[in-house]
Amino acid sequence: MSDTTTNGPLLSVEDLSITFPLDDERAPVVDRISFEMAPGEILALVGESGCGKSMTALAILRLIAKPGRIETHSRVVFDGRDILRLKVTQMRALRGAGIAMIFQEPMASLNPVQTVGDQVIEALRLHERVSTPAARDRAAEIFERVGIPDPRGRLKAYPHQLSGGLKQRVMIAMMLVVRPRLLIADEPTTALDVTVQAQILALLRELREELGMAVLLITHDFGVVNELADRVAVMYGGRIAEEGTRAEVLGAPRHPYTQGLLRSIPSLAHRGETLTEIAGTVPSLGLWPAGCRFATRCPKVFGPCNAEVPPAVRLSDSHRAACHEIAHEVRR
């Protein structure tokens, strides 16, 4: 991978739609979402289960399993190339080397019958021609870098001999050994203890500084977002509800969904008060309202909400929210 000298975005997702068959038609699980990521930036994609955030991540690697499909009007441009139009072999070369992904469940992310060293070496040799001893050295090096004690000895360990935190470190090592420019982290800390979580988050932050790689962080945990993210995109029902810098979205949320989410987090400043929740539940796929998908649960719902898809309103250079209410206010 050559470094791009342009100042353009590293990744730009435009009009990404992912559909699944439902009854006789195709239901959009992700509906025309667009966002950009600068090199070295950490973008958090936040939302509850089923909002399409993991699907978005898989689509960037073109790993959507059948019967899911990325619609043809979508564009995902990585480093100047539209990856949805790459050949299969080109795509395979890009995976791992350009874009890598770590998964939620470190317990299941490693092959139980291979030593972790072999797995890291396999990842390295997929993309670079290196001799076995050199690959072993590189693997030990990256193990040391991700904070695995006794890296040389651990190369020979099997996954079941490692703790959850160590496994996640191995996973990160495996993905970083070829130095991707974008790392997709799908809930990297959900399955870990809180103390281990903090260590892994610190590690991701350090690695970002050191390697200059961008991180697309997928999570439903605002604590993690606050720790790590530069920018935040909040998803609801397959669309981006609000997007902005961490300070903008967490500090001054404008979309009713974001506001509701943040209000439902317990905080020490409001001890003893009843926690507010967002009324209702997420409608299942196919039962979404025609207009704004949050309309069925929104406290501020009015006229156009149920009929028209809300436009994304620019609130600042970096801050957007898709809401009729805000559009109405801004217009006035």
Partner 1 sequence: MSWIGNIIVAVLVAGGAYVWIWARSNRLWREAMRALVRRRRIALIVLGVYVLIGLLDAVSWVGGDGVQGVAASEARSVIDRIFKPSIFREKSYSEPFARVEFVGGAALTFPGQHVLGTDILGDDVLYKTLKGVKVALLIGGLTCLVLIPLALLFGVSAGYFGGRIDDAVFFVMSTLASIPNLLLLIALIMALGKGTLQVCFALGVTGWVGLSRLTRAETLKLRELEYVQAARALGVSHPTIVMRHILPNLAHLVIITFALLFTGLVLSETILAYLGIGLDGSWGRMIDQARNELSRDPVIWWNIVAASSALFILVLCVNLIADALRDILDPRTLRERA
Is there binding between residue 63 and partner 1 (CB under 8 A)?
yes
Least distance CB 22 / partner 1 (angstroms)? 19
Is 4 or 114 the residue whose CB approaches partner 1 more closely? 114
- Which of 261, 214, 215, 205 minimizes the C-alpha distance to 235? 261
Which one among 22, 38, 126, 285 touches partner 1, defined by CB under 8 A? 126
Question: Environment class of residue 273 by beta-carbon count within 10 Å: exposed (0-12), middle (13-18) or buried (19+)?
Answer: exposed
Nearer to partner 1, 22 or 91 (CB): 91
CA distance 296 to 305: 9
231: how many CB neighbours lie within 10 A of its CB? 23
Stretch touching partner 1 by CB under 8 A, among 33-41, 45-53, 61-69, 135-143: 61-69
Q: How far is the CB of 114 from partner 1 (least distance, A)?
A: 7
Alpha carbon 170 to its chain's center: 19
Of the candidates 2, 13, 183, 23, the residue with the CA atom closest to the CA atom of residue 103: 183
Which residues inside 19-58 make contact with partner 1, applying CB under 8 A?
none
Residues 274-303 as x/- pattern, contact with partner 1 by CB under 8 A: ------------------------------
Which residue lies nearer to partner 1 by CB, 36 or 122?
A: 122
Omega before residue 67 within 30° of 0, cis: yes
What letter represents residue 22's amino acid? L
Minimum CB separation of residue 285 from partner 1 in Å reads: 20
Q: Taking a C-beta distance cutoff of 8 angstroms, is the pair 212, 206 a contact? A: no
- Site residues (CB under 8 A) for partner 1, limited to 66-125: 66, 91-97, 100-105, 108-114, 122-123
- Angle between helix 164-176 and helix 116-127 axes, rounded to 10 deg: 20
- Nearer residue to partner 1 within complex by CB, 50 or 304: 50
Q: Least distance in Å: CB of 245 to partner 1?
A: 28
Q: How far is CA 186 from each of CA 55, 88, 100, 319, 322, rounded to the nearest angstrom? A: 10, 23, 11, 24, 24
Site for partner 1 contains 129 (CB under 8 A): no
Smallest separation, CB 67 to partner 1 (Å): 10
Q: Restricting to residues 176-235, name those near partner 1 by CB under 8 A.
A: none
Q: Least distance to partner 1 from the beta carbon of 139, Å?
A: 14
Q: Which of 87, 129, 160, 331 binds partner 1 (CB under 8 A)?
A: 160
Q: What number of chain residues touch partner 1 (CB under 8 A)? A: 34
Instruction: Name the one range near partner 1 by CB under 8 A: 132-140, 158-166, 201-209, 311-319.
Output: 158-166
The Cα 251–Cα 242 span in angstroms is 13
Q: Are 203 and 169 in contact (CB under 8 A)?
A: yes
Give yes or no for residue 271 binding partner 1 (CB under 8 A).
Answer: no
Min CB(199)–partner 1 separation in Å: 21
- Nearest distance from C-beta of residue 153 to partner 1, angstroms: 13
Which one, of 289, 285, 290, lies nearest residue 23 by Cα?
285
Strand order in the sheet with 42-46: 99-102, 182-186, 214-219, 42-46, 231-236, 239-245, 320-322, 312-314
Binding site for partner 1 (CB under 8 A): 61, 63, 66, 91-97, 100-105, 108-114, 122-123, 126-127, 156, 158, 160-161, 171, 174-175
